[in-house]
Amino acid sequence: MEFFKLQSGGRMPALGYGTFMATGLELEKSLNVALETGYRFFDTAIGYNNESVIGKVLNEWISAGKVTREELFVLTKLPCFGNRPEDVDKYIKQSLQDLQLDYIDMYLIHLPIGLFKNGKSEYSDMELDKSTDHLKVWKKMEEQVINGRTKSIGLSNFNMKQTQRILDNCKIRPDSLQNENHLYFQSPEVVRFCKINNIVLISYSSLGMKSFRELVGISWNNKQLPEMLENDVLVKVAKKHGKTPAQALLRFINQNGVSVIPKSTTPKRIVENFQIFDFKLDTKDMDALRNLDDGEGGRIVRFTMIKNIEDHPEYPF
């Protein structure tokens, strides 16, 4: 495993296990495979409805003495329906309880926009809270580090302007930014921005989130793009190194200095996605893959399942 140094003092594995759209027994089995394989970094969120499954499995592993708490790196997020200073305590406590942990390793603001839950469970039924105040919420995030509920804090889905405003006004700097980042949406300016500011960029949807796209019937903005893992150039680079397209792509993102958290509930793929540190892409490979960036045309995630999200004053895209 390779690690990224965090400015707050600790270190974060360069590869983690994503858990979006994974729940119940399927996730329980997959987490066991992931832990056996060697994954120690787990990415979740209240919005994924799976923290209690993760808590159960991690607790079993710790209780059995197969792993120590210190070896684990657990990341979770403040939900957008809790994106108000008065709600931060409540939601981080809920995550700690469901994850059966005394502290979280990294706590992120999931989205720069706020919602009112009003007893609803579907994002599509929630109302926009247009009063979202990043600086006030960040102050409460800083308190969570001071009171020991989390070791570090960061952001997700914030654009560079929003992130810069936090940097300009914070006491504790964000350790990470978790944003969409993959072959067709490489956002080199965000990669540079993070490097300059000592923020670890965590790529989500590194493999193109095929099952989600199929489920909700969306694609990249540029409909002409071929399925990511079937892209000829990527397939050729992977073959050259005796690796699969998924492994070559994860390695590519990692070699750009970006952390990856691929999700899979297929045991073979869980193992496959972990084997990315035993080869290195050369300059020619890196340049060929960089050429596949399609900028905004490659973006998949716009959170349009949230009604009228584009009307929120802090909509980031």
Ligand X SMILES: NC(=O)c1ccc[n+]([C@@H]2O[C@H](COP(=O)([O-])OP(=O)(O)OC[C@H]3O[C@@H](n4cnc5c(N)ncnc54)[C@H](OP(=O)(O)O)[C@@H]3O)[C@@H](O)[C@H]2O)c1
Taking CB under 6 A as the binding criterion, the range among 62-70, 190-198, 201-209, 281-289 that sits at the site for ligand X is 201-209
DSSP codes of every residue in 215-234: HHT---SSTTPPPGGG-HHH
Q: Considering beta carbons, is residue 171 or 268 the nearer one to ligand X? A: 268
Query: How many CA atoms are closer than 13 Å to the CA of 65, on its beta-carbon side?
Result: 0
Taking CB under 6 A as the binding criterion, the range among 13-21, 92-100, 128-136, 234-242 that sits at the site for ligand X is 13-21
CB of 202 to ligand X, least distance (A): 8
Phi, psi of 156, rounded to the nearest 5 degrees = -145, 140
Active site residue 204: no
Q: Is 204 an interacting residue with respect to ligand X (CB under 6 A)? A: yes
Q: Is 31 an interacting residue with respect to ligand X (CB under 6 A)? A: no
CB of 182 to ligand X, least distance (A): 7
Residue count, binding to ligand X (CB under 6 A) = 29
Cα-to-chain-centroid distance, residue 60? 24
Strand segments (E) across the chain: 3-5, 11-13, 17-18, 41-43, 73-78, 104-109, 114-116, 127-129, 150-156, 176-180, 200-204, 259-260
Q: Considering beta carbons, is residue 101 or 207 the nearer one to ligand X? A: 207
SS3 label, residue 184: coil
Q: Considering beta carbons, is residue 63 or 181 the nearer one to ligand X? A: 181
Rounded distance between C-alpha atoms, residue 103 and residue 95, angstroms: 10
Rounded distance between C-alpha atoms, residue 78 and residue 113, angstroms: 11
Q: Which of residues 222-281 bind ligand X (CB under 6 A)?
A: 229, 246, 261-266, 269, 272-273
CB atoms within 10 A of CB 140: 18
Q: Exposed e or buried b for every residue in 11-25, given b needs 16+ CB within 10 A?
A: ebbbbbbbbbbbbee
Instruction: Let me know if 174 is exposed, middle or buried by CB neighbors in 10 A (0-12, 13-18, 19+).
Output: buried
Identified binder of ligand X from the candidate list 114, 208, 298, 316, rule CB under 6 A: 208
Cα-Cα-Cα-Cα torsion 141, 145, 146, 148, nearest 10 degrees, comes to: 130
Q: Is 19 an interacting residue with respect to ligand X (CB under 6 A)? A: yes
Q: Is 212 an interacting residue with respect to ligand X (CB under 6 A)? A: yes
Q: Is 56 an interacting residue with respect to ligand X (CB under 6 A)? A: no
Catalytic residue, chosen from 48, 184, 204, 315, is 48
Taking CB under 6 A as the binding criterion, the range among 64-72, 87-95, 99-107, 203-211 that sits at the site for ligand X is 203-211
Rounded distance between C-alpha atoms, residue 136 and residue 67, angstroms: 37
Identified binder of ligand X from the candidate list 209, 238, 292, 309, rule CB under 6 A: 209
Identified binder of ligand X from the candidate list 12, 15, 18, 309, rule CB under 6 A: 18
Q: Considering beta carbons, is residue 147 or 182 the nearer one to ligand X? A: 182
Query: How many CA atoms are closer than 13 Å to the CA of 128, on its beta-carbon side?
Result: 17
Q: What binding mask, one character per residue, do residues 142-181 give for ligand X by CB under 6 A, x or -?
A: --------------xx--------------------x---
Go through the chain and tell me how many residues it has: 317
Q: Which of residues 68-127 bind ligand X (CB under 6 A)?
A: 110
Positions marked active-site: 48
Q: Which residues bind ligand X (CB under 6 A)?
A: 18-20, 43, 110, 156-157, 178, 204-212, 229, 246, 261-266, 269, 272-273, 301
